[in-house]
């Protein structure tokens, strides 16, 4: 007994819709992770620039406890500790 043509087209279109929806739901977390990592990369660059600036400013008093504290705080937030 042959399968009716209308039922085949309907199930293929449902399959296609489900495949596209599943693909988008699979890719959404990957895109979000990529955006988050890109944002973190640029923030790290900003913190590294701040660290270089404060080290240049505090170079005239390298042994002071303030200079050490600022270096450790900035290096800790930039992930360089």
Q: What are the residue boundaries of the structural domains of the chain, listed by start?
A: 5-78
Asked whether 54 and 80 are in contact (CB, 8 A), the reply is no
Q: What is the mean pLDDT of the chain?
A: 78
Measuring CA to CA, which residue among 80, 78, 81, 70 is closest to residue 45? 78
User: What angle do the packed helices 5-57 and 65-78 form, to 10 degrees?
Assistant: 170
Band (pLDDT 50/70/90 cuts) for residue 50 is: confident
**pTM of this structure:** 0.47
**6 has a pLDDT exceeding 80:** no
Confidence (pLDDT) at 53: 75
Confidence (pLDDT) at 73: 78
Mean pLDDT for 58-62 is 71
């Amino acid at each position: 007994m042959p399968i009716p043509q209308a039922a085949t087209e309907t199930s293929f279109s449902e399959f296609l819709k489900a495949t596209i929806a599943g693909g988008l739901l699979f890719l959404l977390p990957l895109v979000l992770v990529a955006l988050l990592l890109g944002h973190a990369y640029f923030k790290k660059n900003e913190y590294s620039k701040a660290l270089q600036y404060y080290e240049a400013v505090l170079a005239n008093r390298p042994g002071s406890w303030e200079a050490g504290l600022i270096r450790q705080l900035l290096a800790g937030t930039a992930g360089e500790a």
